[in-house]
């Protein structure tokens, strides 16, 4: 986040004083914003802070809530395992066809390699959440 702020600020200052900008800042800023969103999503999954409809998630019996929490974690894990698997193909194609980024011409796979890595991390965190939600405690079966 700090790097993103510094790059964007530097670009604004340069644009203000010179009426031109650094060519690489927009491309790199977009990459950093996407990476930041994925890392934040990974943290949200690990902390069980992902989006849900509270009316359904918090209603009903404790067993129903635990099953819904497990179902939600399983669906998140399935989705991100699928994204990781499919994005490996994208990275391979970027590498194999020597795609370059439009702004500064670096290999595109330098950017796309992070999607399967972070997607796998999110999926594994969702599996961890699924396992934690499956465990029972001594307080009446409440999920941890």
Looking up tokens 């902390």 gives 47
- SS3 state of residue 107: strand
The Cα 125–Cα 2 span in angstroms is 25
CB 4 within 8 A of CB 32: yes
Amino acid 137: pLDDT:
46
19 or 3, greater pLDDT? 3
pLDDT tens for 22-77 read: 778 888 888 999 999 999 999 999 998 878 877 777 888 888 888 888 999 999 99
Amino acid 136: pLDDT:
53
Q: Where are the domains of the chain?
A: 2-134
Please tell me the pTM assigned to this model. 0.81
């Amino acid at each position: 986040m700090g790097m993103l702020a510094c790059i964007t600020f530097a670009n604004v200052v340069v644009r203000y004083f010179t009426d031109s900008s650094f060519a690489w800042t927009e491309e790199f800023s977009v990459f950093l914003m996407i990476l930041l969103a994925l890392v934040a999503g990974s943290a949200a999954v690990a902390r069980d802070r992902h989006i849900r409809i509270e009316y359904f998630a918090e209603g009903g019996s404790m067993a129903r809530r635990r099953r819904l929490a497990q179902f939600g974690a399983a669906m998140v894990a399935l989705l991100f395992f699928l994204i990781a698997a499919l994005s490996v193909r994208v990275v391979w194609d970027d590498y194999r066809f020597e795609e370059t980024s439009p702004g500064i011409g670096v290999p595109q796979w330098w950017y796309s390699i992070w999607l399967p890595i972070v997607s796998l991390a999110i999926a594994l965190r969702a599996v961890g959440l699924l396992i934690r939600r499956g465990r029972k405690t001594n307080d009446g079966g409440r999920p941890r």
